[in-house]
Amino acid sequence: MLLYDERVQLVEFCHRMQADDLTVGTSGNLSVRSGDHIAITPSGVVYDDLTPESICVIDLDGNKVEDGLDPSSEVPMHTSVYRATDAGAVVHTHPLYCTTLSVLLDEVPPVHYMIALLGGPVRVAKYARFGSPELAENSVRAMAGRYGALMQNHGATTYGDTLAKAYTRSVYLEWVCRLYHQARLLGEPNLLPLEEIDGVAEVLNSYGQTVKTGS
């Protein structure tokens, strides 16, 4: 079985995606790249029923390389992101607040410094039908210089060098969208200057614990 470890990761994160309210029903899809192959969730399968065996493996052109279930309808978007970026994983979700703002805004503004995790204000890709090459093209264009984008009247996509990082960005994107939505209920939010977002991005790159060697 090709990409077994990647398949196990995808099953685990699909279950997390449901628990974190990032998707509804069988919507949403995730993938992990390994060399010239991509492990991707299948189309229309209930997440609770997923097993490593039900995960699909495709090449960078979207062709199946193993017999099994059909891959997600969003294969064009996933493969386009891999071709356009250095992504190791892609997460596509339909969370409530991301989707809500996608029908209202052209861009999620810098209402909180954690938007730096996405590379700055998050653009909204122009609407195109799900699974279409047009949606893939619009999404990649909106991600230029960013690690994610909203899709107009649809949802959100993020990427990272690992599945954990791509998923974390999806969680923070939904949180920032919820924050902006809640703030707008009370008034006009104060926005941070872009230079502050750039500064935060530099700090976040070195944030966390470092491993020391020696005694």
* Number of C-beta neighbours around residue 21 at 10 A: 12
R_g over Cα of the chain: 17
**Residue 127 per-residue DSSP state:** P
Find all residues with CB under 8 Å of 179, minimum gap 6, and list them. Answer: 111, 112
Q: Closest Cα to residue 14, out of 89, 100, 125, 98?
A: 89
What's the Cα-to-Cα distance from 65 to each of 90, 132, 152, rounded to whole Å? 19, 21, 32
* 188 counts as catalytic: no
DSSP β-bridge partners for residue 150: 124, 156
DSSP E strand stretches across 41-183: 56-59, 89-93, 107-108, 122-125, 148-151, 155-160
Catalytic residue among 6, 12, 53, 74: 74
Residues known to be catalytic: 74
